[in-house]
Amino acid sequence: MLGDLAPSFKAETSLGDITFPADYFGKWKLLFCHPADFTPVCATEILDLAEMQEEFEELNAQIVVLSADGLNSHLQWIKSLEQIQEKEGKAVGINFPLVPDVGLEISRQYGMIHSKMSTTKTIRGVYIINPENVICAIFFYPLNIGRNQEEIKRTLIALQESDKHDVFTPSNWQPGDDFLMPSPSSREEAEKLAKKNNPKLYSKDWYLWYLKNKN
């Protein structure tokens, strides 16, 4: 759940053994779960993540992918996906670990099994986990719908900016947009805030205050 420490697991992955999330302490973590290898929606998602992996690295974020298939299946799937990259002239490689979860133990820990959808496959879940290993955001998608990776990236940036500046982000916020401030507790408090004449602050009503984004 949001605010919980991310459940810990050890696994032999496509890039060697990992202990998650401890191995990535100090980084933001993006844990993606996939219903199965060699499936069309999952393939497009992995290919998109591969193209964006440097963007996430620049945001101090580590991608980790979980699928209910075994390690050998993961390795064969990676070969297939990298061949697709080569054909498209996008040979960037898949440089993030794919975690096998044949027995669904990890999937159950993270609440990725929704029995009314499937008892043998995970839904498309995404967990954004902060550098202290706390779960900060969760996305769930059905099996047949691909994720919007740009929205996941936008949410990651919003979380980082919120932590940095102690602010909120408004509807449809994009990097560079102004922030929202926590609401004053009363009109009187809002009037006191207005009297400070802080050039970075402005309001649309007594409870709706914005902070200009200096970037």
Q: Which residues contact 206 (CB under 8 A, 6 or more apart)?
A: 184, 187, 190, 191
CB 119 within 8 A of CB 143: no
Residue-wise pLDDT for 176-201, tens only, equals: 999 999 999 999 999 988 888 889 99
Q: Which strands, in side-by-side order, build the sheet including 135-141?
A: 98-100, 61-67, 28-34, 124-129, 135-141
**Catalytic: 42?**
yes
Segment holding 29, helix H or strand E: strand 28-34
| Catalytic site residue from 18, 31, 42, 49 | 42
CB 126 within 8 A of CB 117: no
The predicted structure's pLDDT at residue 193? 87
Q: Which residues contact 207 (CB under 8 A, 6 or more apart)?
A: 183, 184, 190
Task: Report the chain's terminal Cα–Cα distance, integer Å.
Answer: 32
Instruction: Using the predicted structure, report yes or no on whether residue 143 has a pLDDT greater than 90.
Output: no
Percent of the chain with pLDDT over 90: 79
Q: What is the mean pLDDT of the chain?
A: 92
The predicted structure's pLDDT at residue 120? 60
Mean pLDDT for the stretch of residues 82-109:
92
Query: pTM, whole model, 2 decimals?
Result: 0.92
CB 151 within 8 A of CB 20: no
CATH of 9-147, one of 2.170.270.10, 3.40.50.2300, 3.40.30.10, 1.10.10.60: 3.40.30.10
Domain boundaries in the chain?
Answer: 9-147, 166-215
